[in-house]
Amino acid sequence: MKRICKIIITGLIVLSILCGSGQTTSAKALEKPTYLTTEENKKVRIGLHTITSNAKKENSKVTSYSKFIEGNTEILNITLVPSVESTTIEVPLELNKGEIAVLYKNEFGRIFNSGNLYNKENHSIGTFNAEVVNNDGKVQLSSTVKSNSILQLNLKTKTVSKSLQIQVKMNATSFSTYFTNSEWIHRSGITSLSLSQKPDITSSKNSDLNRVIKLDAWDKIKSIYTSDTKWYNPKGMQDQFDCHFDFAKKKDLWNLEPHRPDLDYFSTVLASCNP
């Protein structure tokens, strides 16, 4: 009888952690060790998230969470009812010494909810992103990174709505994540780096995520070929690559030619990726 009571009490404690109305909720109680392996054979993962309500009266309420791995991607799903004012979720990205997480920032200074993971040599080793699943536009999500590895998500809503699902993904990537083959070829006497891309490189419908995938994939190419004697004009080559990524997704091969002039991205697009 005492054993049964102990089990029941333990279960109630776990439920109170997940569903309680306290201002801060930690997922520590049900955490299971899961890891991704980077191309450098190092382990990274999404850590224990903490949720804090910034409201005095209405507190956010966690209803459930789950974390699992699919291939080279770790996915954290958090279902909660946010507070009226704002709710902050802190998600540690457990990286190795010298590795950092950087959110994407465009030329106008806007920070997005997706970013890249960089090693100590400043090479991209993966991506991460956060989103409100099936957002009806009533919830605003903004992101910051603290201490180089803690993803801080801020949810703002004018009214307490039904429960929301927040999804955080971390991807450990390599050249083979995006390409099946790459090689130098000659076409009409012109040297070209020919890339055979995988459909997954441009299959995401998340525009924020596509921005960091494009950076990540380009960094893989540059890391492999930057010391090659045929490699030069990297800015022009990157403009060609970005143009293919954005407008020529369905081409069987992406051919990047270093001899083409280094103009700018928009001029490269106007020239159908071949300035």
User: Is pLDDT above 50 for 131?
Assistant: yes
- C-beta atoms surrounding 264 within 10 Å: 12
How far is residue 119 CA from its own chain's centroid?
15
> Cα–Cα distances in Å, from 111 out to 48, 91, 142?
24, 17, 8
Query: 């080279």: which residue's tokens?
Result: 72
Higher pLDDT, 138 or 240: 240
| Model pLDDT, residue 115 | 98
Query: 């009571």: which residue's tokens?
Result: 5
User: Is pLDDT above 70 for 234?
Assistant: yes
The pTM for the full model equals: 0.84
Where does the pLDDT of residue 8 fall: very low under 50, low under 70, confident under 90, or very high at 90 and above? very low
| Model pLDDT, residue 56 | 55
Where does the pLDDT of residue 7 fall: very low under 50, low under 70, confident under 90, or very high at 90 and above? very low
Mean pLDDT across the chain? 86
Contact 63, 81 (CB under 8 A): yes
Summarised one tens digit per residue, pLDDT across range 193-203 is 999 999 878 88
**Among 8-12, 68-72, 189-193, which stretch is predicted with the lowest mean pLDDT?**
8-12
Where does the pLDDT of residue 59 fall: very low under 50, low under 70, confident under 90, or very high at 90 and above? low
> Cα–Cα distances in Å, from 233 out to 93, 160, 228, 260?
35, 53, 12, 8
| Model pLDDT, residue 12 | 41
**Among 1-15, 26-40, 245-259, which stretch is predicted with the lowest mean pLDDT?**
1-15
- C-beta atoms surrounding 131 within 10 Å: 19
Residue boundaries of the structural domains of the chain: 19-172, 175-270
| 179-187, strands of its sheet edge to edge | 179-187, 190-197, 254-256
How far is residue 40 CA from its own chain's centroid?
18
**What percent of the chain shows pLDDT beyond 70?**
82
Helices (H) and strands (E) in the chain, counts: 5, 16
User: Is pLDDT above 60 for 10?
Assistant: no
Summarised one tens digit per residue, pLDDT across range 17-40 is 333 334 444 554 445 558 999 999
The token pair that represents 245 in the structure block: 């990524």
| Model pLDDT, residue 242 | 97
